[in-house]
Amino acid sequence: MKVLMINASPRFKGNTQVALEQIAATLAAEGIDSEIVPLGTRPVRSCIACNKCLEQGLGHCIFDDDVCNKISARMDQADAIIVGSPVYYGQPNGGLLSLMQRMLYPAGSKFAGKPAAAVAICRRGGASAAYQMMLMPFEMMNMPIVTSQYWNIAYGRETGEAAQDVEGMQTMRTLARNMAWLLRKIHTGEGDAPQLEPWQPMHFIR
């Protein structure tokens, strides 16, 4: 079993990567493979509603000059997906939204029924709105949404600061264990619900 993770931050070693690596390490401990794919720094086209992908039965976007179709093709070998993004003005990276729309519309069969999750990273506010926005396309594709003990959010501004968010990193580990449990249930019908770590709350004002 394998989880595809998309890092929508243009900073390859930033806080979104920190959160996804925490998930990857926990998935590995649970016996689940994962792959983190960076969205990159090059532009991602927006959907122009040309409908050529469906009219021609392509199974992918007709435009093949960015990362969209390459990432979409990886879902052939993936059993679940997690998207992670920094928060800009209460929203996820715009390139990620364009990517999701252009992947799911023509290639929905690659995604339908597979567990999905989203991770939002922010300095202070707007994470819950961005988190909800990333989940909405998955809900339309009949994809089980994987949660944690909290919304899948971590905090940090400077590179690597998210690692200091004790509760945020615990949230990522809980998300990963819940993902592993659901995948095992789907594919083998076996596995007990994961045991929660003792809660490690972290507040802005210490």
pLDDT tens digits for 17-65?
Answer: 999 999 999 999 999 999 999 998 999 999 999 999 999 999 999 999 9
Q: Which residue has the tokens 């809980």?
A: 174
Q: Distance between CA atoms of 87 and 94, rounded to whole angstroms?
A: 10
| Residue 205: pLDDT over 80 | no
pLDDT of residue 204: 77
Q: Distance between CA atoms of 7 and 83, rounded to whole angstroms?
A: 6
Q: Distance between CA atoms of 12 and 26, rounded to whole angstroms?
A: 20
pLDDT band with cut points at 50, 70 and 90 for residue 203: confident
Residues 6+ apart with CB under 8 A from 20: 5, 7, 36, 82, 84, 119, 172
All domains of the chain in start order, with CATH: 2-188 (3.40.50.360)
pLDDT band with cut points at 50, 70 and 90 for residue 150: very high
pLDDT of residue 191: 86
Residues 6+ apart with CB under 8 A from 188: none
Q: Distance between CA atoms of 164 and 158, rounded to whole angstroms?
A: 11
Residues 6+ apart with CB under 8 A from 33: 1, 2, 3, 27
pLDDT of residue 206: 62
pLDDT band with cut points at 50, 70 and 90 for residue 158: very high
Distance, CA of 33 to chain centre: 15
